[in-house]
Amino acid sequence: MNLKQLSTMLQLSQTTVSRALNGYPEVNEETRRRVMEAAKRHGYRPNPSARRLATGKAGMIGYVMPTGAAVDIDPHFVEFLSGLGDYARGHELDLVLSPADAQDEETTYRRIVANKQVDALYISAPRAADSRIALAHQLGVQFIVHGRSEGLDFDYPYIDIDNEGAFHDATRLLVQLGHKRIALINGDDTQTFAIFRERGVRRALLESGLALDLRHIRSEVMIEENGYRAARSLLEASDAPTAIVCSSLIMALGVVRAARDLNLSLPGDLSLVSHDDVFPWLKPEHFSVPLTTTRSSIRAAGARVAERLAARISGLEDGARGEVWPVDLVVRGSIAGAR
Amino acid sequence: MNLKQLSTMLQLSQTTVSRALNGYPEVNEETRRRVMEAAKRHGYRPNPSARRLATGKAGMIGYVMPTGAAVDIDPHFVEFLSGLGDYARGHELDLVLSPADAQDEETTYRRIVANKQVDALYISAPRAADSRIALAHQLGVQFIVHGRSEGLDFDYPYIDIDNEGAFHDATRLLVQLGHKRIALINGDDTQTFAIFRERGVRRALLESGLALDLRHIRSEVMIEENGYRAARSLLEASDAPTAIVCSSLIMALGVVRAARDLNLSLPGDLSLVSHDDVFPWLKPEHFSVPLTTTRSSIRAAGARVAERLAARISGLEDGARGEVWPVDLVVRGSIAGAR
DNA sequence: CCCGATTCCCAAAGCGCTTTAGATACAGCC
DNA sequence: GGCTGTATCTAAAGCGCTTTGGGAATCGGG
């Protein structure tokens, strides 16, 4: 069933039917009702390719997905995706994933924009002065960044969580508990979220006259193994920290394992705070010692990104508003006063 | 730069240029060379919407993604996606995710097929007599199932791992080590993979004159918490198992935690084998006691699915061939002879 | 009662590509 | 020389939708 068939069936022109369906004002309400009703009854659905060709709009949002043998998509992505899906589902928005060589994402960005395959895209895991953001900005495509970059000479729309504040607060709490040697096991420090987190820790320590010892910082891809290694090397050193702040629950698994291997008990010998992105399949309250966390749902962020993207597409939103979400600090058994 | 511009620039008709570019035989090789060269030099790229409208082909593969408040996309999906991406990247294949209400995926399937939004789709996590497979079959769209269903009265193309064989072999090894009470902590048993796994365990036990005690089976969504609960309830019972076979590394985390809480040591008091889908961020060799696993890369499966999907789209593959991959049994420190 | 403004609708022209149905030219054959 | 074949290219017709540029009623005001 296409427009033509529907319109001859209704004894109307394609123009009128199209307008009736798309809510244009120059059509009689009674006619519109008839058209709407007939469309529904016959299950008419406009062909998206045709519409796309005519309007230049795609009705999809895009994501350039870095891939490659050396690239692991991390599990945060799937949670974010769930969130996107939650919103998109109700709005018949589809999501196009364009896999790109991690070494050369630019080509793919240019391709999908030139092809008008998507109306808007989102950019995740930004780095300092992120070139993808600059590119999207320059290409004039609608986009939203999940996270923030730094050192770009223009504003852009983003949503981010208050990484600095979260890690500041967590660290301050540890300091208040009497800890002096506090270590940070961070994610890949080319990513801005990691930079902000380090900044938060540093600021909290500074406020108490302490300083973040460079030897007490580790930055690695957030996998269990790296959490273990980092913790191990920190805890075996002579000036071992009495508290660790950790950027991910998955790394925290490694930290707990390291502590156990070294016969250190939580929170007696070591206090641990981790950031929690709220994975349904791994919860901080179900660690052998329930973990104190800074918590922010990455899934909720996904839904919000989709919502704003949709708003931008339909022209309800513009400008470069940044949105920063506060982060909960949830205290559980993994922290205690320093001995 | 569109076809028309390119063709007037070359003093050729659109037809000829189009044919030259698409490799049709009825064009002079010399002309083709000229056209190709000019296209490259001017960065001409056919508009996908127009092409789609004209051919009815989409150049994309689709996935209907169940979402909803109660639905968590599990982290296996992201690994699978990485694999799809690995292949798709080199072939300019994009992937469309269509979020659907988990209660009513059918509508979405019908929509994307009717709209010709995708050339082919893949179906994951099949259940017994899976209605999505039946629907895709009936709608005549190209598809591949990742996993297998049972009880469908037609053949369909799939790729699956030998779940039954893997769990059979793992169980047999435990039996050979002298274990008599072996428990299974399985995934959601409406999914066929779980059914096959249980079958494997059951068969191995039967072969040794043992039987799988119903009280020694647990089937739950594969999250850490459920692994813990299941293990706890199994191990606290009077006829506690001496060995556990577990369907996922994430659940195995919970099993290990439960054992520790109950002061049971691995492998002294309890042998543990888990299935490992090969997550980069959580590896069985990095458990406090390295885990014996049945191993199969879900990422490799993703790449293979993409490859076959592409082959089907271009007509290189048809029919209903099923592919079953063998699974490695990797022995590490978490198993020992029964006391 | 006439006229301009409104209201409602239509025909037709695109959007950029593929493909059908020919055209043209040249060779080979009887 | 006329005819069939083959190679090469073209004009034009879609694909299904949106949108431009009117046209025909209808209406209110002078």
Residues with Cβ < 8 Å from B182, sequence gap 6 or more?
A: B171, B174, B175, B201, B205, B210, B212, B216, B241, B242, B243, B244, B245
B150 three-state secondary structure: coil
Are B273 and B246 in contact by the 8 Å Cβ rule? The answer is: yes
Residue at a domain's end among A258, A278, A296: A296
Distance of alpha carbon A288 from alpha carbon B257, whole angstroms: 6
Do A30 and A42 belong to one domain?
yes
Give the largest Cα separation in chain A, rounded.
87
Q: Is residue A9 part of a domain?
A: yes
Q: How many CA atoms lie within 13 A of A268 on its CB side?
A: 5
- State the angle between helix axes of B76-89 and B298-313 in degrees (0 to 180), rounded to the nearest 10: 50
Instruction: Give the pLDDT confidence of B133-154 residue by residue, as tens digits.
Output: 999 999 989 999 999 999 999 9
Instruction: State the pLDDT at residue A130.
Output: 96
Instruction: State the pLDDT at residue B101.
Output: 87
Structural domain range at position B13:
3-46
Do B66 and B34 belong to one domain?
no
From the CA of B324, how many Å to the nearest CA of chain A? 24
User: Bridge-partner residues for B96, per DSSP?
Assistant: A96, B62
Instruction: State the pLDDT at residue B68.
Output: 78
Q: Is residue B20 part of a domain?
A: yes
Contacts of A95 in chain B (CB under 8 A): 96-99
Do B105 and B171 belong to one domain?
no
pLDDT at residue B94 tops 90 = no
Side chain identity, residue A265: S
Do A276 and A308 belong to one domain?
no
Report the domain count for chain A.
3
Q: Is residue B86 part of a domain?
A: yes
Instruction: State the pLDDT at residue A90.
Output: 81
Instruction: State the pLDDT at residue A276.
Output: 97
* B115 with A48: Cβ contact below 8 A: yes
pLDDT at residue B267 tops 90 = yes
Distance of CA B203 to CAs A46, A68, B173, B208, B212, Å?
Answer: 53, 40, 13, 9, 9
Do A266 and A306 belong to one domain?
no
Give backbone dihedrals phi and psi of A202, rounded to 5 degrees, phi first. -60, -45
Distance of alpha carbon B113 from alpha carbon B104, whole angstroms: 15
Instruction: State the pLDDT at residue A167.
Output: 98
* B73 with A84: Cβ contact below 8 A: no
Residue B195: pLDDT band by 50, 70, 90 thresholds?
A: very high
- A158-161/A322-325 β-pairing: parallel
Q: Is residue A332 part of a domain?
A: no
Do A262 and A304 belong to one domain?
no
A15 CB and strand C closer than 7 A: yes
Instruction: State the pLDDT at residue B92.
Output: 74
Do B155 and B185 belong to one domain?
no
Interface test with B, best of A42, A45, A55, A94 (most B CBs within 10 A): A94
Instruction: State the pLDDT at residue A57.
Output: 86
Instruction: State the pLDDT at residue B111.
Output: 85
Instruction: Give the pLDDT confidence of A51-88 residue by residue, as tens digits.
Output: 998 988 888 899 998 887 777 778 899 889 989 989 98
Share of chain B above pLDDT 90, in %: 75
Give backbone dihedrals phi and psi of A330, rounded to 5 degrees, phi first. -110, 115
Instruction: State the pLDDT at residue B218.
Output: 97
Instruction: State the pLDDT at residue B59.
Output: 82
List CB-based contacts (under 7 A) with strand D. Answer: A 2-4, 14-15, 18-19, 21-22, 44-47, 50-51, 53-55; B 11-16, 19, 26-31, 50, 53-54
CATH classification at residue B320:
3.40.50.2300
pLDDT at residue B210 tops 80 = yes
Mean pLDDT on B278-288: 94
* Regions of chain A with pLDDT less than 50: none
Side chain identity, residue B252: A
Instruction: State the pLDDT at residue B227.
Output: 97
Residue B14: pLDDT band by 50, 70, 90 thresholds?
A: very high
Instruction: State the pLDDT at residue A60.
Output: 87
Do A205 and A309 belong to one domain?
no
CATH classification at residue B13:
1.10.260.40
Instruction: State the pLDDT at residue B247.
Output: 97
Contacts of B93 in chain A (CB under 8 A): 99
A206 CB and strand C closer than 7 A: no
Would you give the end-to-end CA distance of chain A in angstroms?
A: 76
Q: Which of A86-90, A156-160, B13-17, B113-117 has the lowest mean pLDDT?
A: B113-117
Do A212 and A272 belong to one domain?
yes
- The DSSP string of A23-47 is T-SSS-HHHHHHHHHHHHHTT----
Do B240 and B171 belong to one domain?
yes
Do B289 and B177 belong to one domain?
yes
Mean pLDDT on B90-116: 86
Mean pLDDT on B30-45: 93
Mean pLDDT on B200-207: 96
Do A157 and A77 belong to one domain?
yes
Mean pLDDT on B270-299: 96
pLDDT at residue B69 tops 80 = no
Q: Is residue A336 part of a domain?
A: no
A325 three-state secondary structure: strand
Residue B330: pLDDT band by 50, 70, 90 thresholds?
A: very high
Tell me the average pLDDT of chain B. 93
Instruction: State the pLDDT at residue B214.
Output: 81
